[in-house]
Structure 1
């Protein structure tokens, strides 16, 4: 059984960043540890990545998947600073941002790690992911939290669509 200490979540847990967990345990997929809740990204000002879905595979030091919501695009550097050591170029990271135009969909690269930066349409990250990754919503209703997380992670890992690649600064200029 995978323990949190042996995963990419170990550091985040030790730093007290994993907040309001609805799930913080191994999932049904062998060797996968999942988290559903919030991740603290800064204390001054207080900012959290909300509605988080995240997973780590085995004893990999990086998260294989992360999705969540930020109020503002300007919070991206704080997110990357807080989680940066646990991100890898091959991971799938989907950050929904409240102040992006509806048609905005970008790949923003931070230290060699591409992050999907997407608008949130007054709905939940869960609903956005279901639609974005073409997951059957009816089937998802029958699953527990661990199964939902596994289904989302498996679909995200296969997702290969590429959006316009921009720098963080270019994104600021488009707000």
Structure 2
């Protein structure tokens, strides 16, 4: 399998066949940034996916600088962490939307010193959630190609500084 990414952050994921259904899988309009939009396979049996995923990484970085996507259940967070492994880092911006969280729930959950924003999602898309959450201009976004949309979302996410209640994964399980 040939790798289309020059970014080390995506090479292992691509080699393992985890990057599925890509609408974008390569350089974005920001020089030195690589992006992905599609699904990320977390486990094979049973199949678990990070759906509607957006991810970016810079040139020579081994870790993703930004990641967002949707999980069908909060209980799949450990599978996400395991699948991403060394491709995530402290200081990255990671937004995981979860279908079975109460609509008012917004948490930051740390795994091995890496913080994840864990947020509820209803019947809307991750794309629409991110546009609203990051206060991006919907009309401008409609006119952009996929690469520019990924850049705009990543730029908004990388600037995001809002803090939420920090809880452990186990505490989150108790609140389901």
TM-score range, shorter chain: over 0.9
TM-score by length of 1: 0.97
Which blocks of at least 5 consecutive residues in structure 2 are unaligned?
Answer: none
In 2: Cα distance, 1:119 partner to 1:6 partner: 30
Equivalence map 1:23-172=2 (5 Å): 23-172=24-173
Offset of 1:122 from its aligned partner?
1.1
Provide the C-alpha distance between the structure 2 equivalents of 1:100 and 1:5, rounded to a whole number of angstroms: 36
What CA distance in whole angstroms lies between the structure 2 residues aligned with 1:6 and 1:105? 31
Q: Is the 8 A contact 1:55 1:66 kept in 2?
A: yes
- The two structures have a TM-score, normalised by structure 2, of 0.97
2:95·2:119 contact (CA, 8 Å) conserved in 1?
yes
Q: Distance in 1 between matches of 2:85 and 2:113?
A: 11
Q: Who is 2:8 aligned against?
A: 7
CA offsets 1:22-55 (integer angstroms, 9 cap, x no match): 1101000010000000000001111100000100
SS at match of 2:42: strand
- SS for the counterpart of 1:90 is coil
How many residues are paired up?
Answer: 173
Distance 2:7 2:114 in 1: 22
Deviation, structure 1 residue 151: 0.3
Pairwise CA RMSD: 0.8
Q: How far apart, in 1, do the equivalents of 2:134 and 2:30 lie?
A: 19
Please give the secondary structure, in 2, of the residue aligned with 1:8. Answer: helix
Shift in Å, 1:7: 2.5
Asked if the contact 1:7/1:33 (under 8 Å) is kept, the reply is: no
